[in-house]
A and B are shown apart, each in its own frame.
Chain A
Amino acid sequence: MSVIDGILAANEDLLNIAKVGASAALRAPKVANSNIRVEIVTGEDLEPLVEIVGIAGETNAFVNGDYVVASKASKAGTPIVELLIGVDATVSDLAWNCGGCGFATCAEFNRYAKEHKSSGNFMLGPSCQWKLMDHGIALAYAAAAISAMGVECRLQADFGSIGLLLGHLEGCSMCIGISVGPYGESVWYNRAYSVDSFNMAEHIQFMQNTLPQLFVAFVGDGHPPFKSGPVWAKEPKYFKPMEAPEFLAKKQDAGARIGKIIEREMVKKAAKKKK
């Protein structure tokens, strides 16, 4: 009999757990008979995904949180397995003519989508809503099946959209990633891996950025001061929408670096195909 380390054993079977998640996604009931597609990304193929999530996270707090967990788990020798679930929602074969996409008929939608299929911040559109409904059902089935086996997981749009950029699930317009593992309690929620990732001053700044209405004083005079601290009334400051060229430049720089990584990975992929 051999002895197996508990932590390594817990992480060793993540791939099989992800495969069960894939089966659950494909087995999920559908409202619109959509073609749900699944891919599992592990090992060295996961590295560029995590790398890009890290760069995108430099200007996005939410994405950064995902990067911190994924990268620290890899460094700890217990990497996650990424289950990608996608669908092409830019074509409707339903002819239901429901109007949910904004067009009176599916034929009009298909005509428009053919000409205007394009990317927003991180997904392709326009979309048939019922294809996205089926995709959501598949996501729930996969996540619930993984969770039922006692394994930590989380649905993540960042891993999904970056997966699409890296050429996974070719032809899909929508993709969500399910990070399977790492071991541990609530790794994607209370996020023990995020210890000391911000200080109180950064937190207060974050709150002021995201929930400004909490910091507004009496609004009755039509020009409410900003409650920056206990003595806000002595040196009043005011909110004002402003341009943020530095932040935008940072975002553009991140975008350019992401573009280079994608190029690099596409060259690698093409070389692999040639072999």
Chain B
Amino acid sequence: MPKIRISDWPFYSPADLARREGSIAAAKLMANAAFTAPKSGGVPHIECDIVYGQEEQEEIARKVEELSLVNPRTKHWKAVFRSEAVMAREADCILFIGNTHAGDMLFDVDCGLCGGSEGCSYVYNRKVSKYGHIDAFESKAAHPERLVNGPLCSQWVNDLGIAVGSTVYLAQRLLVDARPMMSIGMAGQKLGYCPNSEIVVAVAVASLAKNPFVDILPDYHYLHLNKVLKKTRKDYSIARMVHWFDYRKWYPKDAGKEE
């Protein structure tokens, strides 16, 4: 009889990969939820990438670690990024959700969110623009050092939040664990995911016995499961070695017992 064996251990075993497929299927539905989420004027402005696999997630995690160093004077920044890099590795998959309009196709209602009474000109005047349109490339080239190339159309950013909220809400209904994260979103964007978006949020998804995105320890990058396992494997090898014992010739006696 054909069967699908599903297990969460060992990581990346065939049974674990089968389990991850469920999370990936959930992430695909979550992406759909981002598309059906309410939007200002019903305008389509969302793009998604789903990324999974040991190498792919390792690359993202390393980028998050790299970004952990960009704000040395900001309290918590490094700790958050280092912890969330671990989560990028431990997730079953990562759903990136970006807004394709916030940077160069404003909502144009002069609402005031981005800059108050200046209305939309707040953004047009601070970016390279002509004919009421923004040149995304030159605007970005003017500030290559920025993590996010603002200012942005805040209406669309709020809409992106609604899309992210819809995906996470669906995850909750599907009983898979998920959390939206800025750090992994920024790293993914730098790596080229959601290439048409000026602002990207990552939703890490997992279906494990323990939700990998909550209840973490302080200094988690020192104390996460893989580190503990690595340490245990090291110590166990050493412990095995130092009690030299030829199992074919003798067996240790019970303490206090005569031969």
Interface residues of A (CB under 8 A from B): 28-29, 31-32, 89, 95-104, 116-127, 129-130, 132-141, 143-145, 148, 154-155, 157, 173-174, 176
Contact = CB atoms under 8 A, between A and B. Distances in A.
Most chain A beta carbons < 10 A, residue from B149, B157, B173:
B157
Given A100-B148, A118-B117, A137 B180 contact: yes
B122 A32 contact: no
Contacts of A28: 165, 168-169
Given A121-B111, A127-B154, A137 B147 contact: no
For chain B, which range describes its interface: under 10, 10 to 19, 20 to 34, or 35 or more residues?
35 or more
Contact of B113 (A32, A98, A120, A155): A120
Contact of B146 (A32, A98, A116, A122): A98
Interface string B59-101: 0000000000001011101000000000000000000000000
Interface string B145-183: 111111110100111111111101110010000011110
A129 B38 contact: no
A144 B171 CA distance: 12
Contacts of B112: 118-125
A176 B152 CA distance: 19
Interface of B: 37-38, 40, 71, 73-75, 77, 109-119, 122-123, 126, 143, 145-152, 154, 157-166, 168-170, 173, 179-182, 186, 199, 201
A247 B168 CA distance: 43
B157 A133 contact: yes
22 contacts: A31-B182, A89-B154, A96-B77, A99-B146, A102-B122, A102-B150, A116-B117, A119-B117, A120-B116, A122-B109, A123-B112, A124-B113, A125-B116, A126-B116, A127-B113, A127-B114, A129-B148, A129-B157, A136-B164, A139-B158, A139-B165, A140-B168
Contact of B168 (A29, A135, A154, A157): A29
A132 B165 contact: no
B10 to A, nearest CB: 30
Given A141-B165, A155-B38, A100 B152 contact: yes
Contacts of B170: 144
A122 B111 contact: yes
A-B complex: 4 closest residue pairs judged by Cβ atoms = A120-B112, A136-B161, A140-B165, A102-B151
B119 A121 contact: yes
A145 B245 CA distance: 64
B27 to A, nearest CB: 16
